[in-house]
């Protein structure tokens, strides 16, 4: 760091993203991307004509995408805001609803960025441990009177809360915003979007990175009451009004419109997930009941850190978190059936010696 860095920033520990090797020689099961190509409609939408329009700024209101998204989710356009990935929407929400005197409550084992953003924004954290079996007890979140963020399904566990559990949390915190991060909801979770008209303190965040094959385009949607969305826009228009680029606006719209492709690809992932869970269980792994496009697994037969390293030597990248309570676990993204067969072959090879 330079001698000019502000002391406040020097204490922030940035998030470490999963490895993104640029030579593509690995079977990549480490960052929960889709193994499938974007919809053919996306490829057609990102046309040469649109590339030529890159000389012009994108629409700061994202009006066309908003209309499509609102219709898709049964909301008004005023209840939706696109972001540059859901990371940006989550950051905007923390900037809007928390500060030095208004903490953020979240689980000890969940998406790592929540804590990082609190550091960057000087937001005190209220960290609530998951139970021994990694389930979340909704009662721990009742009557907190603090902004809350819950990843549902959670990462990296893949475990999911039913909608009425979230509803109880919303009801018992009527004066606080409850952010539900639904990055993985399309793989078998229960979305809270249908609760938006009932609860003015609910903000739902979804992403195109996991279930719509657009991780590299950077697109997410925040959905909530028109007043909450206006607050997020206040932050956006104070920072970066053109936060979504033209190609991503087109790609996102096309991906939303191709519901058949969306359903086909997420069904494929859920089938492959069931197969993968069974295969791992057969080999003596403990596997949590995942509703996401990854599984979280551990075994007494080998430590998580060593298995991660040996899989990498065998050309397979998975995610290992060197963090308390989960150092012995691996988070494995669901790829194609062929990729998961290769994973099992590598596991057998590693465990036999």
Ligand X SMILES: *Cc1c(COP(=O)(O)O)cnc(C)c1O
- Tell me, rounded to whole angstroms, the distance of Cα 91 from its chain centroid: 13
As a three-state string, the secondary structure of 158-225 is CCCCCHHHHHHHHHHCCCCCEEEECCCHHHCCCCCHHHCCCCCCEEEEEECCCCCCCHHHCCEEEEEC
Edge-to-edge strand list for the sheet holding 104-107? 80-83, 220-224, 202-207, 178-181, 147-151, 104-107, 125-128
Site string for ligand X, 210-239 (x = CB under 6 A): -----x----x-------------------
CB 150 to ligand X: min, Å = 10
Q: Smaller CB distance to ligand X: residue 188 or 220?
A: 220
Does 207 interact with ligand X (rule: CB under 6 A)? yes
Taking CB under 6 A as the binding criterion, the range among 53-61, 83-91, 278-286, 308-316 that sits at the site for ligand X is: 83-91
For residue 174, what are the contacts with CB-CB under 8 A and spacing of at least 6? 201
Q: Smaller CB distance to ligand X: residue 31 or 299?
A: 31
Q: Smaller CB distance to ligand X: residue 209 or 299?
A: 209
Does 177 interact with ligand X (rule: CB under 6 A)? no
Q: Which of 111, 141, 187, 285 binds ligand X (CB under 6 A)?
A: 111
> Is residue 227 within 8 Å of 200, Cβ to Cβ?
yes
Does 209 interact with ligand X (rule: CB under 6 A)? yes
Does 33 interact with ligand X (rule: CB under 6 A)? no
Q: Is 148 helix (H, G, I), strand (E, B) or coil?
A: strand
Place of tokens 């989550």: 90
Q: Which of 62, 65, 75, 87 binds ligand X (CB under 6 A)?
A: 87
CB 151 to ligand X: min, Å = 4
Residue closest to ligand X, measured at CB: 85
Interacting positions 128-167 with ligand X (CB under 6 A) = 151, 155
CB 294 to ligand X: min, Å = 9
CB 91 to ligand X: min, Å = 9
Site string for ligand X, 234-273 (x = CB under 6 A): ----------------------------------------
Q: Smaller CB distance to ligand X: residue 111 or 261?
A: 111
Angle at 250 between CA 333 and CA 17, to 5 degrees: 30
Q: Smaller CB distance to ligand X: residue 220 or 350?
A: 220
How many residues line the site for ligand X (CB under 6 A)?
12
CB 188 to ligand X: min, Å = 15
Whether residue 153 is preceded by a cis peptide bond, meaning omega within 30 degrees of 0, is yes
Question: In 3D, which of 90, 133, 138, 130 has the Cα closest to residue 109?
Answer: 130
Does 73 interact with ligand X (rule: CB under 6 A)? no
Can you read off the two tokens belonging to residue 19?
């490895």
DSSP code per residue over 320-349? E--STTTTT-EEEE---HHHHHHHHHHHHH
Q: Which of 85, 224, 252, 335 binds ligand X (CB under 6 A)?
A: 85
Q: Which residues pair with 81 in a beta bridge?
A: 222
Q: Measured between alpha carbons, how far is residue 301 from residues 29, 269, 275, 326, 351 in Å? A: 21, 27, 21, 16, 8
Interacting positions 180-199 with ligand X (CB under 6 A) = 181, 183
Burial (Cβ within 10 Å: 0-12, 13-18, ≥19) of residue 163 = middle
- Residue numbers at the binding site for ligand X (CB under 6 A): 85-87, 111, 151, 155, 181, 183, 207, 209, 215, 220
């Amino acid at each position: 760091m330079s001698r000019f860095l502000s002391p406040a920033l020097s204490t922030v520990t940035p998030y470490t993203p999963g490895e993104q090797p640029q030579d593509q020689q690995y079977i990549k099961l480490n960052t929960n991307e889709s193994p499938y190509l974007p919809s053919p409609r996306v490829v057609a939408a990102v046309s040469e004509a649109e590339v030529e329009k890159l000389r012009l700024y994108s629409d700061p209101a994202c009006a066309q995408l908003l209309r499509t998204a609102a219709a898709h989710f049964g909301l008004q356009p005023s209840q939706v805001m696109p972001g540059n990935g859901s990371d940006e929407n989550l950051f905007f929400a923390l900037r809007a609803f928390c500060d030095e005197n208004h903490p953020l409550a979240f689980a000890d084992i969940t998406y790592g960025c929540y804590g990082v953003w609190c550091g960057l924004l000087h937001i005190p954290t209220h960290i609530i441990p998951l139970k021994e079996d990694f389930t979340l007890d909704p009662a721990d979140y009742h009557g907190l009177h603090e902004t809350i963020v819950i990843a549902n399904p959670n990462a990296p566990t893949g475990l999911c809360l039913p909608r009425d559990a979230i509803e109880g949390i919303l009801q018992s915190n009527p004066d606080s915003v409850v952010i539900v991060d639904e990055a993985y909801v399309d793989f078998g979770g229960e979305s809270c979007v249908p609760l938006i008209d009932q609860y003015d303190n609910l903000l739902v965040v979804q992403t195109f990175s996991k279930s719509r094959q657009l991780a590299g385009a950077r697109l997410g949607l925040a959905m909530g009451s028109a007043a909450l969305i206006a607050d997020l826009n206040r932050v956006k228009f104070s920072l970066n009004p053109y936060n979504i680029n033209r190609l991503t606006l087109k790609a996102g719209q096309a991906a939303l419109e191709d519901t058949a492709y969306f359903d086909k690809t997420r069904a494929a992932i859920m089938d492959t997930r069931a197969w993968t869970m069974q295969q791992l269980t057969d080999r003596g792994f403990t596997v949590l009941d995942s509703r996401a496009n990854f599984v979280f697994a551990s075994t007494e037969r080998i430590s998580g850190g060593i298995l991660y390293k040996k899989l990498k030597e065998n050309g397979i990248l998975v995610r290992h978190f060197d963090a308390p309570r989960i150092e012995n676990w691996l988070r494995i993204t669901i790829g194609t059936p062929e990729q998961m067969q290769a994973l099992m072959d590598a596991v057998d090879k590693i465990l036999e010696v």
